[in-house]
């Protein structure tokens, strides 16, 4: 439900990253990393991006989203694992002191500018 705010932040970061000395820049691709546990709906985010990038160098850019899996580490036995299920207890020692290593990312990795 907050995808528009996230889209706005993404656009701000992407526009800031375009070097000033490029004349009429056009971004072909935005590369994002979104964790599987992040509260972001991908099609909602891409829709918001499509709407707010109109008349900017990002208009029409392809949005490529890398899904980042949920990775966890047990603080008790150091076991590391990935999961698709909402069950985050350590499968090795059953302990509860678990740290999430990845899966909550909402990041922009790079943008790709057209050569023309």
Partner 1 sequence: MEINIQKRVLAKNESDADRNRSFFKEKQVFMLNMMSSPGSGKTETLCRSLEMLMPDVRVGVIVGDVCTTNDADRLSVTGAKVTQINTDQFGGDCHLAAHLIESSAKSLGCDDLDLLIVENIGNLVCPAEFDIGEDARAVVLSVTEGEDKPLKYPLMFQVADAAILNKIDLLPYLDFDAALAVENMGKVHPGMPVFELSAKTQEGMEPWIAWLRNKVKEKLG
Q: Phi and psi at residue 102, in whole multiples of 5°?
A: -150, 165
Binding-site member from 63, 65, 101, 108 for partner 1 (CB under 8 A): 108
CA distances from 42 to 3, 29, 34, 53 (A): 9, 16, 9, 16
Binding-site member from 51, 78, 80, 110 for partner 1 (CB under 8 A): 110
Cβ 103 to partner 1 shortest distance, Å: 9
Q: Quickly count: other Cβ atoms within 10 Å of residue 93's Cβ.
A: 13
Show contacts with partner 1 in window 50-79 (CB under 8 A).
Answer: none
Between CA 85 and CA 57 the distance in angstroms is 39
Binding site for partner 1 (CB under 8 A): 1-2, 4-6, 9-10, 13-14, 17-19, 37-39, 86-90, 95-98, 100, 104-113, 115
């Amino acid at each position: 439900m907050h995808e528009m705010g996230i889209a706005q932040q993404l656009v701000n970061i992407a526009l800031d990253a375009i070097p000033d000395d490029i004349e009429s820049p056009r971004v072909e691709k935005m590369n994002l990393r979104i964790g599987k546990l992040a509260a972001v709906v991908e099609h909602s985010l891409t829709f918001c991006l499509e709407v707010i990038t109109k008349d900017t160098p990002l208009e029409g850019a392809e949005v490529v989203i890398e899904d980042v899996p949920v990775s966890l580490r047990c603080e008790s036995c150091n076991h590391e694992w990935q999961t698709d299920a909402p069950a985050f207890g350590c499968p090795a020692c059953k302990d509860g002191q678990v740290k999430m290593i990845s899966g909550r990312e909402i990041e922009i990795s790079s943008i790709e500018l057209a050569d023309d």
